[in-house]
Structure 1
Amino acid sequence: MACSDPVRRVLLESRKPSTRLTYEAKWKRFSLWCAQQHISPHLASVPSILDYVLHLKDNHLALGSLKVHLAAISAFHPGSEGHSIFAHPVVRRFLKGLEKVHPSIKPPVPAWDLNLVLSRLTGPPFEPLASCSLLYLSWKVAFLVAITSARRVSELKALLCDPPYTIFHKDKVQLRPHPSFLPKVVSPFHMSQDIFLPVFFPKPHANSKEQRLHSLDVRRALAFYIERTRPFRKTSQLFVAIAERSKGAPVSSQRISSWITACIRACYDLARAPMPAVTAHSTRAQASSAAFLANVPLQEICRAATWASVHTFTTHYAINRHSRNDAAFGRAILQAVFP
């Protein structure tokens, strides 16, 4: 479908900025290949485009990357036989064939013990929050928010520290991302999904056990984190850098992920417990999960949590390792089950 330049610009704005940049880079790469083949990229036939996809596959691109390239071509190409390139029946059949010829092998995420991590977060060096190092405070807060909210790391990066984006209620904390943030699924429903995290064993405490469990309260941890980072903040983004060269600046999604995995590793070190290793069908050598976790998406790391007994924290924040329903996260459970 031929569109005017103004209409085309509006259509391009329907995508996230990062997606637009990705598509433009992929289209440029396709255009260079077309030039070598003496083909106009806008007039390239479906067979020619599939030849390009095979060229990419020969360069060891994964199936997911190939689909991104096709989506990018589809965004700029007028289509063929009434179909966009990505939706063309021949292209769909070709992708199914690639999946069978080159099946993707996804190694398992190493399981880690949630109870072990939680037990270490209740004591030094993660407590007391008023005096522990900013590094351990950052690790703990990032971990608690991630494990209780089940949000993507890009969503955690988009959180802001000031009202009305972070609101401390008496019985919970309410978190909202930056208004310009676009979630993976862009819809009114997904864009208005606030995070509600209830308090955990609030004061007064009946005994030392309740006091210890209160140290896992996400609301409390966030309050300390915001207060302690306020003097050097250079941004309203919730999570900020603590290294001297960039202190107070917003951190990247990758940095938040590294904090969370570092938190898990530190807890294992404190417990003098070996990090779990990964074995796949006895055909792969055991791999250190400390190195393995570095390349695993945040959500998968959270999903890999296991526990031999149910922890009160796990029940209170509705963390279920078999079925992780985002809408259920942060809801208090009526009955607390102690480990």
Structure 2
Amino acid sequence: MPAEVKSRRGQRLDDSSILDITALDGSTTQAACRRSKNHNEEKESAGVAPVDGRTSHHVPYQIDGLSTFQESLRERGISEKGTDLILASWKPGTSKQYRSHFNRWAQFCHQRDINPTTPIVTDVINFLTETFHRGVGYNSINTARGALSLLGIVVDGCRAGNHPLVIRLMRGVFNLRPSMPRYKDTWDVKPVLTKLKQLEPLQSLPLKELTLKLVMLMALTQAARVQTLHLLVLKNTSIKEEAISVWLGDNIKQCCPGFNIQSVKFFPYTKDESLCVCRTLHTYLEKTEHLRDETGKKDGRLLISFIKPHKLVSRDTIARWIKHVLTISGIDSTKYTASSVRSAAASQARSMSVPIHHIMYKAGWSRESTFAKHYNKEIVQEGDPFQDAVLG
């Protein structure tokens, strides 16, 4: 090992030994290190193998990557309020997506006496290599790479994920284990629309069928994520003849400082009233008004359970509703999930020659390449459309 690397590693260990940070249980890191040392001596006597020639200090259930990052920010002199603002830059879904990689990185560094915020490129390469040999795919390793950059780790003057050696490693990962799109094709919306047309008249529909129809129509006409449908609220809803605007209770995934969607606008469909999302939404609001408690009539979420006591529903419930509609429409819901609605709706619009800029605006995509790479799929049609055209 080069002398400068040994020196850096020694400095890390020395630095970590003199830090005196209060732990969650009120003790200091020095005391925690002493407890960890005693604990490891017991485990070593029980036959625990060392890692890279050093005794393992790994205690899996005590490692939290986000807490480690939070402590590192405080060590840099950033105030508690400043730390909170930095952590608030990550949306809940982002934190959930990266948390496992944060934790593995913290454990990896803990085992090797590495400062998790100031690694060298060798540490990053070895961590990603270890992740690769866990048998995961390219996308998971790329997420781990992104997690290191998200933590603000800088190596040799550039973000950890953008280091030339890391980029070269990721190319090797792709060559050995290339990423594959989740869907190579998408389902035809026509069978679903045929099923939705049959759910009439609206006034006599049970609340379950009315809810299923509304959710699928909103998803199709907006190319909407389940998250978007889940965040729709009654507060400030604007109902006009030309459109219905429903506000969002929080930021959705594509929101950013330059693109902040605050409401979703639904337009009437006069060509076929049985597929009109505005008409269906009107009926849904009328049927559910008396089911909502007083506090939820104005500020509550739009979608509620069709089963007593008609509470607010989770995103998973809405996803199950969409999959149920796919199933009863004859679409293979074991292959296509609720998230496939975006690609199905966008691909159908593209096949009908809707301008790409309009599709991007509707779905909230800022780059045409996003649609082309992830959502523009071949539509799988039942039967033989050529034969139908010839014989029809």
Range of TM-score over shorter length = 0.7 to 0.9
Give the one of 192, 210, 224 matched to 2:283.
Answer: 224
Give yes or no for contact 1:41–1:77 (8 Å, CA) kept in 2. Answer: no
Cα gap change, 1:57 to 1:158, in 2 (>3 Å): same
Cα gap change, 1:30 to 1:241, in 2 (>3 Å): same
- In 2, the alpha carbon distance for the partners of 1:121 and 1:325 equals 23
Task: Show the counterpart of 1:294.
Answer: 337
- In 1, the alpha carbon distance for the partners of 2:163 and 2:359 equals 34
- In 2, the alpha carbon distance for the partners of 1:293 and 1:260 equals 10
The answer to whether residue 219 in structure 2 is matched with residue 150 in structure 1 is no
The answer to whether residue 304 in structure 2 is matched with residue 240 in structure 1 is yes
Give the one of 361, 365, 381 matched to 1:327.
Answer: 361
Task: Show the counterpart of 1:75.
Answer: 150
Give yes or no for contact 2:268–2:277 (8 Å, CA) kept in 1. Answer: yes
TM-score, normalization: structure 1? 0.72
The answer to whether residue 285 in structure 2 is matched with residue 214 in structure 1 is no
Cα gap change, 1:296 to 1:75, in 2 (>3 Å): closer
Cα gap change, 1:11 to 1:111, in 2 (>3 Å): closer
Q: Which has the higher helix share?
A: 2
- In 2, the alpha carbon distance for the partners of 1:24 and 1:182 equals 20
Task: Show the counterpart of 2:254.
Answer: 184
Give the one of 242, 246, 250 matched to 1:171.
Answer: 242
- In 2, the alpha carbon distance for the partners of 1:322 and 1:189 equals 18
Cα gap change, 1:251 to 1:77, in 2 (>3 Å): same
- In 1, the alpha carbon distance for the partners of 2:183 and 2:338 equals 12
Unaligned 5+ segments in structure 2 are 1-72, 364-392
Counterparts of 1:232-311 in structure 2, within 5 Å, are 232-233=291-292, 235=296, 236-244=300-308, 247-268=309-330, 275=331, 289-294=332-337, 297-303=340-346
User: How many positions carry a matched residue from both structures?
Assistant: 283
Give yes or no for contact 1:109–1:304 (8 Å, CA) kept in 2. Answer: no
Cα gap change, 1:65 to 1:89, in 2 (>3 Å): same
- In 2, the alpha carbon distance for the partners of 1:251 and 1:43 equals 43
CA displacement 1:259-281 (0-9 Å, x = unmatched): 2232132133xxxxxx4xxxxxx
Following superposition, the deviation at residue 322 of structure 1 comes to 8.0
- In 2, the alpha carbon distance for the partners of 1:131 and 1:219 equals 17
Name the SS of the counterpart of 2:337 in structure 1: helix
Give the one of 169, 172, 192 matched to 1:94.
Answer: 169
Percent identical: 21
Give yes or no for contact 1:150–1:326 (8 Å, CA) kept in 2. Answer: no
Following superposition, the deviation at residue 120 of structure 1 comes to 2.6
Amino acid at match of 1:228: K
TM-score, normalization: structure 2? 0.63
User: Which structure would you say has the larger Rg?
Assistant: 2
Name the SS of the counterpart of 1:170 in structure 2: coil
Task: Show the counterpart of 2:65.
Answer: none
Unaligned 5+ segments in structure 1 are 202-209, 269-274, 276-288, 311-318, 330-339
The answer to whether residue 269 in structure 2 is matched with residue 200 in structure 1 is yes
The answer to whether residue 233 in structure 2 is matched with residue 160 in structure 1 is yes
Amino acid at match of 2:243: K
CA displacement 1:211-266 (0-9 Å, x = unmatched): xx21211111111112222222365111222234xx43222223222222321321
Amino acid at match of 2:78: S
Following superposition, the deviation at residue 30 of structure 1 comes to 1.3
Following superposition, the deviation at residue 169 of structure 1 comes to 0.6
Task: Show the counterpart of 2:78.
Answer: 4
Give yes or no for contact 1:139–1:263 (8 Å, CA) kept in 2. Answer: yes
